[in-house]
Structure 1
Amino acid sequence: MSARALYCRPCDSDEQHRRLTADEKNWLRKRTGRRSVEEFFLCTAPTCRNVRSGFNKRPFDPVIRLPQVD
Structure 2
Amino acid sequence: MPSRAMYCATCDSDEQHRPLTADEKTWLRARTGRRSVDEFFVCKVPDCRNVRSGFNKHPFAPVIRVPLPD
Pair in the same fold by TM > 0.5: yes
Alignment TM-score, normalising by the size of structure 1: 0.95
Task: Give 1:68 deviation, angstroms.
Answer: 1.2
CA displacement at 1:69 relative to structure 2: 2.7
Q: Mind listing any 5+ residue stretches in structure 1 that lack a counterpart? A: none
Report how many residues are paired.
70
Q: Which runs of 5+ in 2 are unaligned?
A: none
CA distance in structure 2 between the partners assigned to 1:49 and 1:17 by the alignment: 9
Tell me how far 1:27 sits from its aligned partner: 0.2
Please list every run of at least 4 consecutive aligned residues from structure 1 whose deviation after the TM superposition is greater than 4 angstroms. Answer: none
Q: TM-score when scaled to structure 2? A: 0.95
User: CA-atom RMSD, angstroms?
Assistant: 0.9
Question: How far apart are residue 55 of structure 1 and its match?
Answer: 0.5
